[in-house]
Amino acid sequence: MPAPVIGRHAAPESPVDVLTDLLAVQRRRLAALDPRLPEAAAPPPGDIVVVGKPPHRVAGVVTHHTWPAGSGPLLWSATQVSELHPVIGAAGHAPLHALVEAWRGRMLPVVLAEPDSAATITWPSRDVVATRVFLDHGLVPLAVLAVRPPGPYPVPPPDPDLVVRRAGPDDLEGCVRLALEELAYSSQVGGSLLRPDAEALKRATIRDRLGRGEPTWVAERGGRLVGMVECGQAESAPGSWLASLVPPGGWGYVNCASVTSAERGSGVGQRLVAAALPELEAGFRGRQDLAVRGTYLYYNPPNPLSSVFWPRAGYAPLWTLWEVRPARALR
Ligand SMILES: CC(C)(COP(=O)(O)OP(=O)(O)OC[C@H]1O[C@@H](n2cnc3c(N)ncnc32)[C@H](O)[C@@H]1OP(=O)(O)O)[C@@H](O)C(=O)NCCC(=O)NCCS
């Protein structure tokens, strides 16, 4: 006969205790599901929601964010964002349904009233139990964070008329044109938004990036830029935002890839990636201690070009960004 449970379970558990217990189980669930994931991070501070009773009890943290007018993230995000951070242990469909329903009840009136709003969840792509639940509540898999381990990329046959090179400050206008072309395309197939200040925002960001020497490659034909891939390197350091998404270490990332419409499908994108990857994977300048774990990027599953192009280049979904706009459309 099992010994009676005494001690800390004799007193009622606080919501923080519930989160802590469920997080330990969730860590095991996600580690078993996908070894490419980092250890599941604790949710950020916010409104703790606990639903149900053991053994079907689940929890989550609801956060709210308002992006200020004129800020860069408004080119891919709604202004008012309610985010659910599920902490569900090993739970299946029914408890997760209950948690999503409870989330709707906790959304701030300002979010529910705002047309430029979104309800979002970022969750491991391979957790298909959650996929079923999110789809049933009207959430859409608008983007994925996809990763690629370091490794050779097939170099396409040479194109004698195409010059692929690192971009410099003089390439600003060509890069802005290509970035706006990408934004216009992506706004039809994902969460990007062609807001009135898009050109000014892109110009300021790209001027800054090129000025700092951030790795950007361009493809030039006949003196005109026809393609661009904006990249960078970042450390997934313990406690950082990136560490909640990818394992610790050095990572290369691809921020924006754009080939002008008349040149798409003819190998320009592949030549740009073939130029960028070896450098992104070679290591961090001045950081011999930091091994490069791979590269990551975001793409939109409804994008018929990038959803073919990136998986063919070796990228596989790690996290899915579920979203519904406006937030009140969550059902
Ligand atoms: C995604 C993108 C950067 C790829 O660059 P690209 O130069 O078109 O790519 P490539 O020609 O090197 O490879 C394209 C692949 O897509 C497919 N493709 C076929 N027809 C295509 C077309 N009309 N346009 C684009 N891709 C086509 C092919 O499968 C091709 O692979 P294959 O050569 O093995 O057949 C480019 O299409 C683009 O800018 N798209 C619009 C903006 C965008 O989606 N950006 C990415 C955001 S993450």
Mean per-residue pLDDT for 13-28?
95
pLDDT grade for 11, boundaries at 50, 70 and 90: low
pLDDT of 2: 44
Q: Which atom of ligand 1 is nearest to the CA of 182?
A: 42
Rounded distance, CA 203 to CA 160, Å?
30
Residues whose CB falls within 8 Å of the CB of residue 170, separated by 6 or more in sequence, listed in order: none
pLDDT reading at 62 higher than 80 = yes
pLDDT of 287: 84
d(CA 185, ligand 1 centre) in Å: 12
pLDDT of 9: 52
pLDDT grade for 3, boundaries at 50, 70 and 90: very low
Q: Which atom of ligand 1 is nearest to the CA of 303?
A: 44
pLDDT of 158: 87
Mean per-residue pLDDT for 34-53?
96
pLDDT of 127: 97
pLDDT of 159: 95
Most ligand 1 atoms within 8 A of CB, residue of 268, 309, 315 to mutate? 309
pLDDT of 198: 98
d(CA 36, ligand 1 centre) in Å: 27
pLDDT reading at 304 higher than 60 = yes
Determine whether the shortest distance from the Cβ of 253 to ligand 1 is under 6 A.
no
pLDDT of 6: 45
List pLDDT tens digits, range 188-209. 999 999 999 999 999 999 999 9
Domain boundaries, the chain: 15-146+324-329, 162-312
**Whole-number percent of the chain with pLDDT over 70:** 96
d(CA 177, ligand 1 centre) in Å: 18
Sort strands 80-87 and 117-124 into parallel, antiparallel or unpaired: parallel
d(CA 276, ligand 1 centre) in Å: 16
pLDDT reading at 185 higher than 80 = yes
pLDDT grade for 5, boundaries at 50, 70 and 90: very low
HEC profile for the chain? Answer: CCCCCCCCCCCCCCHHHHHHHHHHHHHHHHHHHCCCCCCCCCCCCCEEEEECCCCCCEEEEEEEEECCCCCHHHHCCCCEEEEEEEECCCCCHHHHHHHHHHHHHHCCHHHHHCCCEEEEEEEECCCHHHHHHHHHCCCEEEEEEEEECCCCCCCCCCCCCEEEEECCHHHHHHHHHHHHHHHHHHHHHCCCCCCCCHHHHHHHHHHHHHHCCCCEEEEEECCEEEEEEEEEEEEECCCCCHHHCCCCEEEEEEEEEEECHHHCCCCHHHHHHHHHHHHHHCCECCECCCCEEEEEEEECCCCCCHHHHHHHCCCEEEEEEEEECCHHHCC
pLDDT of 194: 96
Determine whether the shortest distance from the Cβ of 328 to ligand 1 is under 6 A.
no
pLDDT grade for 4, boundaries at 50, 70 and 90: very low
pLDDT grade for 100, boundaries at 50, 70 and 90: very high
Determine whether the shortest distance from the Cβ of 36 to ligand 1 is under 6 A.
no
Rounded mean pLDDT of the chain? 95
pLDDT reading at 7 higher than 60 = no
> What's the angle, vertex CA 113, arms to CA 110 and CA 117, rounded to 5?
80
pLDDT grade for 289, boundaries at 50, 70 and 90: confident
In terms of pLDDT, which residue wins out, 283 or 319? 319
Determine whether the shortest distance from the Cβ of 191 to ligand 1 is under 6 A.
no
pLDDT of 283: 85
**CATH fold of the domain at 162-312:** Aminopeptidase (3.40.630)
